[in-house]
Amino acid sequence: MSSIIQTPTPVYPVALPFLEKWQIRVFIKRDDLTHPLISGNKWRKLKYNMEAWQKNGVQRVLTFGGAYSNHIAAVGAVGNAFSFETIGIIRGEEASNLNATLHKARENGMRLVFVDRKTYRRRQEVEWQSQLQELYGPCKILPEGGTNSLALQGCAELGTEILEELPFVPDHICISAGTGGTAAGLIKGLNGRSHVLVFSALRGNFLKTDIGHLLEKEGCFYQNWRLISDYFEGGFGKLLPETLYFIKDFYQTTGIPLDPLYTGKMMQGIFQMIQEKKFLPGTTLLVIHSGGLQGWAGMQERFGKGYHYAGASNTTGDPFFQKDRLS
Ligand SMILES: *Cc1c(COP(=O)(O)O)cnc(C)c1O
């Protein structure tokens, strides 16, 4: 079933003078390499859900997301690849031109339904969900971001893969978080080993409670993790110029593209923490690249060409940020 996805994903060392200077060893798990759209943690979360849908003969899946959502992109693409119908309930009005994420989702056969923000807030209400079932036919409803127990099971494999791939246990494993489902699954999979730094992509501390609850529901009470909530960089969906600079510089010096909303902000936060001497010399960090590179296309549409990530398919010679601009 998962023939189009290559796992385990590889781990590479990140070699930079900056890291040498501070004597911090950084490794990156390139989970972004699973698939351009079914990327990183979104694949991890879908894997066992899809297995269950196939086993139970589910033919139609309905889910929720914002207009640039990596989750919507992934669900559309798995629907196309594994031949089931998908419906995306999208937050906000339909624009006259679909953005790249939604355009691709529709191309992949996803039926897009736009709802206003007030209605979208009801996405967890059973009553609205059954109305949606009546409107769009019997379907499996997958929560926003794909976070449920089967998703955690898939994300737990991030933890087991890391422990199998590395000949040592890293001091910290860094993961970016939106709903916290990936972080909770990772912590579960690590079974008490290493120590997880969860970088919130959203303002506030609520993820601490949310991740705690997700773990409790799994019967897990691990304490080897901490929420880092200082590096949301402008808030969710925003991209500050300094973050863009950082991402671009990181790409030019390492060859590794980070995404604009999650992994770029996390890596910038990690580098700031290193500079602030938050880690002792000799510390090893394993950073999970959770994917999300499809989000660059939307950034380009919103802010202009400077935000373009053309990926491996670009033939112009400069694979990243074709124009060097920020003003
Ligand atoms: C969705 C996403 C996350 C957040 O995952 P959660 O499980 O919701 O915390 C992190 N990184 C990337 C690239 C994502 O697309």
For residue 195, the model assigns a pLDDT of 98
Nearest atom, ligand 1, residue 176 CA: 10
Q: Whose alpha carbon is nearest atom 14 of ligand 1?
A: 292
Nearest atom, ligand 1, residue 292 CA: 13
The structure's pTM equals: 0.93
For residue 326, the model assigns a pLDDT of 35
Instruction: Report the amino acid identity of residue 27.
Output: F
pLDDT > 60? residue 113: yes
- CA 315 to chain CA centroid, nearest Å: 27
Reported as a pLDDT band with limits 50, 70 and 90, residue 31 is very high
**Secondary structure of the chain in HEC code, one letter for each residue:** CCCCCCCCCCEEEECCHHHHHHCCEEEEEEHHHHCCCCCCHHHHHHHHHHHHHHHCCCCEEEEEECCCCHHHHHHHHHHHHHCCEEEEEEECCCCCCCCHHHHHHHHCCCEEEEECHHHHCCCCCHHHHHHHHHHHCCCEEECHHHCCHHHHHHHHHHHHHHHHHCCCCCCEEEEEECCCHHHHHHHHHHCCCCCEEEEECCCCCHHHHHHHHHHHHCCCCCCCEEEECCCCCCCCCCCCHHHHHHHHHHHHHHCCCCCCCCHHHHHHHHHHHHHCCCCCCCCEEEEEECCCCCHHHHHHHHHCHHHCECHHHCCCCCCECCCCCCC
pLDDT in tens, 238-248: 888 889 889 98
Question: What distance in angstroms lies between residue 200's CA and the mean position of ligand 1's atoms?
Answer: 10
pLDDT > 50? residue 315: no
For residue 320, the model assigns a pLDDT of 44
pLDDT > 50? residue 35: yes
Question: What distance in angstroms lies between residue 176's CA and the mean position of ligand 1's atoms?
Answer: 6
As for ligand 1, residues whose beta carbon falls within 6 Å of it are 40-42, 70-71, 145, 147, 176-183, 259, 262-263, 290-292
Probe residue for ligand 1, chosen from 31, 197, 290 as the CB with the greatest number of ligand atoms within 8 Å: 290
Instruction: Report the amino acid identity of residue 238.
Output: K
Reported as a pLDDT band with limits 50, 70 and 90, residue 325 is very low
Nearest atom, ligand 1, residue 185 CA: 7
Question: What distance in angstroms lies between residue 211's CA and the mean position of ligand 1's atoms?
Answer: 13
Question: What distance in angstroms lies between residue 175's CA and the mean position of ligand 1's atoms?
Answer: 9
